[in-house]
């Protein structure tokens, strides 16, 4: 884990349906996510803040590959 960041597994129902691994700051602010669409199986990356360390993004991608 990278200090100051945490990973969360989240599900989404409604506008979009699927699962996501979210990268968040310790205070809960969402930084980025990898979302997998239930219908298509397509995985996409969304980044919500700027200046995110590449180590944090790599941690997010590795977790998404393992869990989605």
Residue keyed to tokens 């205070």: 27
pLDDT at 13: 81
Q: What are 23-41's pLDDT values in tens digits?
A: 999 999 999 999 999 999 9
What average pLDDT does the chain have? 95
Structural contact between residues 5 and 56, judged by C-beta atoms closer than 8 angstroms: yes
Q: Give the global pTM.
A: 0.90
- Whether 15 has a pLDDT exceeding 90, the answer reads no
* CB-based burial label for 14 (10 Å; 0-12, 13-18, 19+): exposed
In whole angstroms, what is the distance from residue 4 CA to residue 26 CA? Answer: 6
How many other β-carbons are positioned within 10 Å of the β-carbon of residue 20? 21
Q: Percent of the chain scored above 90 by pLDDT?
A: 91
pLDDT at 14 over 90: no
Average pLDDT over residues 46-59: 97
């Amino acid at each position: 884990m990278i200090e100051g960041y945490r990973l969360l597994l989240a599900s989404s129902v409604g506008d979009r349906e699927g699962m996501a691994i979210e990268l968040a700051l310790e205070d809960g602010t969402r930084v980025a996510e990898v979302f997998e669409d239930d219908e298509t199986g397509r995985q996409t990356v969304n980044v919500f803040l700027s200046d995110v360390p590449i180590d944090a993004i790599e941690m997010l991608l590795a977790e998404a590959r393992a869990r989605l």
